[in-house]
Structure formats: structure tokens, C-alpha cells
Copies of this chain bind each other. A is one copy, B any other.
Amino acid sequence: VLAAPAIAQTNPKITWRLTSSFPKGLDTIYGGADTFSKYLSEATDGNFQIQPFAAGELVPGLQAADAVSAGTVEACHTVAYYYWGKDPTWALPSAVPFALNARGMNAWHYHGGGIDLANAFFGQHNIVAFPGGNTGVQMGGWFRKEIKTVADLSGLKFRIGGFAGAIVSKLGVIPQQIAGGEIYQALEKGTIDAAEWVGPYDDEKLGFQKVAPYYYYPGFWEGGPTVHLMFNKAKFEELPANYKSLVRTAAQATDANMLQKYDYVNPMAIKKLVAAGAQLRPFSPEILNACFDAAQETYAELVSSNENFKTIWESIIAFRKEHFLWQQVAEFTNDTFMMQLQRAGKLG
């Protein structure tokens, strides 16, 4: 038989736009879109271009997925929980209270069927999505006064995101929606009592410690939030096979890269914040347990009323209990010993 002739494949010229939900000032999370774009462009000699735009340049930040769903923009970089108001199922592949940490989330996405389960849902909205970043667990936010008991939550005006806000509202918190640029002034004036933003690296730029010095942790509603790269499904399906694969590979690398960067920059930032007056405070066991119970109540309601939610949530929690069992063995013990050495000043 004759060998098939060698055909030199070309990388076809494709130019897409990507709308980010983030301002450029959040260079680590916004930067995920730049990283992804660079990986694609470089691997194709500049033929596959996805140009990132900051929140508001093309579309408001919180409407990024809507624009992709409608096909007015080919791609976006966003957090799926922003869209929980349409259906709380949106929140599950990103972050919900007391779910997985970053490593657990990634294990579930890539090897526990998470990416496929999420796309079965996103597909109903003409979207194909891949994980495209993770911040690691976030901080719990900045509080003007210490909060110690569940009673302290009552009437607390707290700037906190959608789905998590709905859960803590069961404990008397009054969730507030305020754009990032207005938080400082609202805290200063006392219009709000507390605000969560991201973690030390991003928070440090905004100087919250000057007006709300109590910096609580952990942000239990975002144990390891996944940021998604989303694509209009019809546009994605039109890509040649090599570009489809490259998108997945570049997204997986981008996803890892964001967490790697946060893990590198957060330690320096937390030290700066403490030096500048931030007072670190853990949430009390009483508050954590009450919030967990409130979350469980919400999950039970949603599982019984929302089939999409049920399917994905049951997959997450089946893995969650195994993940936090295994993490107790080698990882936790190793980290604990290393932290003891750190506290004893033995790590140099």
C-alpha cells in the first residue's frame, strides 16, 4: 500500500475576544486571561488569538457569561457563582460554602467527572467551560468590630457574594452588594460593617486594614474557588480538533498557574498587612458550625427541588468525605510538622 501523502497542516487564523469579569488591577486573577491568551498565541505562531478585555470594556463584569451564552463575545473568564441567581447550580463548579479546597476541587474537576458534569449543565446555556484558575482558600474578610458569637452576626451589614450571602443571611447577616472600588469608603463611613474581597495579595492594594482592622479567616464559602474559561458552544464546536485540544491544555496550565502565583505572592502580602495593622482573627467554632448547619439546610432544600443541583452536588460531596479523610493522613501531618518548625523559628 502507498503511504498517505504528508499534508502540512496549518494553524488557521482565528481571532476571538474574551471578556473578563475582573479589572486589570487584580493582576493575578485578571492575569489568567493574559496567560491563557499567550499560551494559545505562542503555540500557534500567533494564528489563534484570543484578546482579553477587562470587566466593563466590552461587557459588565457580572454579565460575562451572558455575553458568551448569547454569542456576542466568543469567550469569557469569570466565576460561575456570579450567575447563581439564574440557578444555584451555577455556583457548584466554582465554589459553595464548605465544599472542597483547591486540590480537592481540581481532583474532582479533572478526574472525578467534574468538568463533564459542569458542561452538561453549562451546555444548556450554550457554553463550554474549563477550569481556568483558582485562588486557593480566600480570607473571610475585613470587619470593623470583632465578631465572636452567632449573635454578633445579627444585623451585620456584610459585603459578601451571592450564594454565600444567601446562606449567612439565615444567621441574621444582611448581605450587601457593593462594587470593589466603593468598599473602602463604605467601611470607613460605617455604611457597612464588614466586607470580603479575595485574599492578602489583592486585599493589600485596597488598604482595608485602616478602616476595618479585624481580618477574619478562613473564607469558608470559597475553600478553593475555580475561575472558569467559558466559550460559546457553537463557536467552540467550530474549532479544528487541534485547537480544541490546545484550548483544554492551555486552560489546564492556566488553571494551575493562577494558584501557583497566588501561593507565591500571598505570603509576602499577609506579612505586609499585619505590619500595617491588620489583626488576624479566626472565625470561632460557634460561627463556623452555625454557618455549616445553615449551608446544610440550603443544600437539602436545593437537592429536593433542583435536579441539576442534585446531580452535581451529590458528585461533589461523595468525593468530599473521601478527600478530607485522606488529607488527614500524610498531607495534614506533614504540614503540621512543618508549621510547628516555622513557629519554632527553625525554618531559617
Please tell me how many copies of the chain the complex holds.
Answer: 2
Contact present for B264 and A107 (CB under 8 Å): yes
How many A residues, CB 8 Å from partner?
91
Q: Which of B242, B325, B348 contacts A321 (CB 8 A)?
A: B348
| A111→B266 CA distance, assembly (Å) | 12
CB-defined contacts of A317 to chain B, threshold 8 Å: 347-348
| A248→B278 CA distance, assembly (Å) | 39
| A76→B115 CA distance, assembly (Å) | 30
CB-defined contacts of A323 to chain B, threshold 8 Å: 263, 267
CB-defined contacts of A197 to chain B, threshold 8 Å: none
| A81→B257 CA distance, assembly (Å) | 24
Q: Which of B10, B138, B200, B321 contacts A347 (CB 8 A)?
A: B321
Contact present for B256 and A106 (CB under 8 Å): yes
CB-defined contacts of A292 to chain B, threshold 8 Å: 341, 346
Known: A42-B246, A252-B252, A317-B347. 11 other contacts (CB 8 A): A9-B44, A43-B249, A102-B103, A107-B260, A139-B330, A199-B330, A217-B329, A246-B246, A267-B322, A317-B348, A324-B342
Binding site for B on A (CB under 8 A): 6, 8-11, 13, 39, 42-45, 47, 98, 101-104, 106-112, 136-140, 199-200, 217-220, 223, 241-242, 245-246, 249-250, 252-253, 255-257, 259-261, 263-268, 270-271, 280, 282, 285, 288, 292, 317-335, 337-339, 341-343, 346-348
